Chains A and B, each alone.
Chain A
Amino acid sequence: MIVSDDLFIPMRKDSSNAEAIVRPQLTYWQGAWIRLRGNKLALMGLVIIILLVGMAIVGPMISGHDYAKQSIISKNKAPSDANWFGTDEFGRDVFTRVWYGARISLFVGLMAALIDFFIGVLYGGIAGYLGGRVDNMMMRFVDILYGLPYLLVVILLMVVMGPGLMTIIVALSATGWIGMARTIRGQVLQMKNSEYVLAAKTMGAKPFYIIRKHLLPNTIGIIIVYVTLSVPSAIFSEAFLSFLGLGVQAPQASWGVMANDGLSTLLSGHWWRLFFPAFFISLTMLAFNVLGDGLRDAFDPKSRR
């Protein structure tokens, strides 16, 4: 290798635009979106969720069957041209019922996640922001609730309130907000003492301004991740409760109710009655879980491994 002298001439310094930022500046959201876009698994989850929601809306209408209409002639029919996913023991079309059930399961999941979000953010935010004695008392209360076995409490509430769609949502949110409140409170507490909040305070920013401009944008990532991950856990709990006979009542059907009804078919061989609801519960949970994981990596690149 020949090393010529001109390689050692210092580069010309041009101080006029040394401060210029060459790369385009990305906002928080753009950065997160670019990282999410690179995560194929998470994108797949997002697409599946969109498809599932779309099918939940149009699915019950396109098959030409009614979800509750019984027919003795066509009971326990295998999947065919007429009944794409077969029929159940009352001759009801499984395809229609699966998508009708999707409405209920997704509705329960989304509602429970939203209620958790509102209560959790409010409670955790107030405790974290006020701090001191108020925080101490509020968190002592949460710690006690956190120690309760949550499924037992949910079952208890369901028994007392009677089965039904609304009671499931109420029972699930009654315990679901606790984790959210703890997370938010931890975040807010940590950020409240950070330099940029101190700087904002020194310059005379009002509490509401600090919450809106600093605390909220910095917790929003975690909130979104948490909400995404609490949807599948609510759907799972609903399926669990339905399985114990505490779910929505006939003729309404959620995936959990259908899987429970279909369980007897393990031996009779009418596999489609169990397979389709079980498959869609798993697919939905999978989609939300991988999307949640992807969002976590996207919003918090440091945590990525």
Chain B
Amino acid sequence: MLSFVIRRFISMIVTLWLIITLTFFLMHAVPGSPFEKDGKGLNEAVAANLNAYYNLDKPLIVQYGLYLKQLVQFDLGPSIANSSDTVNKMIARGFPVSFQLGIVSVLFAIVTGIALGVVAALRHNRLIDYIAMIIAVVGISIPSFVVASLLIKYLAVEWKLLPTATWGTWQHVIMPALALAFGPIAIIARLTRTNMLEVLTQEYIETARAKGLSPATIVIKHALRNAVLPVVTLLGALIANVLTGSFVIEKIFAIPGMGKYFVAGINNRDYSVIMGTTVFYSALLIFMMFVVDVLYGIIDPRIKFHGKESKG
């Protein structure tokens, strides 16, 4: 177990280093300097000063070293488009909002997805099963921004039940969280249903039934626990999905989260912001995957950590 955690941790660090390096050199491979925006040439002295301020006058490898040194100190550097702001400050402002939205939609997706999958499996090949599976296929097929538009159109504009956009009260969370959770619900429901159908044919379920346990106890205590385990492996990818997906959702709902800064960074070609947010999000996601992998071993004692990959 411990050796697995250590090995997994090292591979996490390597992945992180790789993406930092990739990000850094990709960003610096872009021709031109960030100060030449809009074709306005800067005064030579000003440009030289700016270059010195952002360390852009040094050789690339030295810049890379400095950047790594900054990162180790958790400093993601200043914004280029807005010199009074730093990437750290942007994350401090934007991330709590995105995090709140992300948590709500992940929880919503897990609860609804599992419930839908279980009901479908228990009523296999009946009407409810078909309805649940239609929801699942449709959920995978409809992009989140379409769901978001429909929600705004009906819940906010036509029926005026919820506020259209921005952020603040709990009512502001509902629509974006729904839109974000829609796809994950479908994925979780399908996976839960498949596993549940398999588990229900196992002998220990038969035994439980023979003992005279109530159907509810059998489903909750015996079937569900085993059926839901593989969903845990999906959590890492799911969280990644929701976090990156929220870029688009935040844009639609004008939510002041990380997505806003990231999209603004793309539009302004603000390389330090793009780089900073990418590194931050990658680190977060890679760490999440690490946690999920370790967690999986704790939840499911049958998993042995001999091989490199223990995902079932």
Interface on A for B, CB 8 Å cutoff? 140, 143-144, 147-149, 151-153, 155-157, 159-160, 232, 236, 239-240, 243-246, 259-260, 263, 266-267, 271, 274, 278, 281-282, 285-286, 289-290, 293, 305
Contact = CB atoms under 8 A, between A and B. Distances in A.
B286 interface: yes
B140 A285 contact: yes
Interface in B229-272: 240, 243-244, 247-248, 251-252, 263, 266-267, 269
B176 to A, nearest CB: 14
Nearest to B19: A148
Contacts of A149: 240, 243-244, 281-282, 285-286
B23 A244 contact: no
B172 to A, nearest CB: 17
Given A144-B15, A240-B248, A152 B281 contact: yes
B27 interface: yes
Main secondary structure on B side of the interface with A: helix
Contacts of B140: 285, 289
Given A151-B244, A156-B274, A282-B146, A232 B18 contact: no
Contacts of B142: 282, 285-286
B296 interface: no
Interface string B193-209: 01001000000000000
A245 B252 CA distance: 13
Contacts of B15: 144, 147-148
Nearest to A284: B141
Contacts of B138: 286
Contacts of B141: 232, 282, 285-286, 289
Given A147-B15, A160-B26, A244 B266 contact: yes
Contacts of A159: 30, 266, 269, 274
B263 A245 contact: yes
B281 A143 contact: no
Interface string B278-292: 100110011001000
B266 A266 contact: no
A263 B252 CA distance: 8
B11 interface: yes
Contacts of A305: 194, 197
23 contacts: A144-B14, A149-B243, A149-B281, A149-B282, A152-B281, A152-B282, A156-B23, A159-B274, A160-B30, A232-B141, A236-B143, A240-B143, A244-B248, A244-B266, A259-B145, A263-B145, A266-B149, A278-B143, A281-B143, A282-B142, A285-B141, A286-B141, A305-B197
A157 B26 contact: yes
Nearest to B247: A244
B13 to A, nearest CB: 11
B249 to A, nearest CB: 10
A195 to B, nearest CB: 24
A243 B282 contact: no
A205 B240 CA distance: 46
B61 interface: no
A189 to B, nearest CB: 12
A152 B244 contact: yes
A240 B282 CA distance: 19
Given A149-B282, A240-B145, A266-B153, 20 more contacts: A143-B11, A147-B286, A148-B15, A149-B286, A151-B244, A152-B244, A152-B278, A156-B278, A157-B26, A159-B269, A160-B27, A160-B29, A160-B30, A244-B247, A263-B149, A267-B157, A281-B143, A285-B140, A286-B137, A289-B141
A271 B282 CA distance: 37
Interface in B10-59: 11-12, 14-15, 18-19, 22-23, 26-27, 29-30
In the complex, the 8 A-B pairs of residues with the closest C-beta atoms, listed nearest first: A286-B141, A285-B141, A151-B244, A147-B15, A278-B146, A282-B142, A149-B285, A160-B26
A58 B19 CA distance: 44
B290 to A, nearest CB: 9
B152 interface: yes
Nearest to A271: B153
A232 B186 CA distance: 15
Contacts of B197: 305
Contacts of B11: 143-144, 147
B145 A243 contact: yes
A274 B143 CA distance: 13
A212 B125 CA distance: 40
A144 B27 CA distance: 21
B252 to A, nearest CB: 7
A98 B152 CA distance: 23
B304 interface: no
B212 to A, nearest CB: 28
B26 A281 contact: no
From B14, B19, B274, residue with most partner A Cβ within 10 Å: B19
Contacts of A239: 143, 145
A295 to B, nearest CB: 14
From B29, B137, B141, B243, residue with most partner A Cβ within 10 Å: B141
B306 interface: no
A285 B143 contact: yes
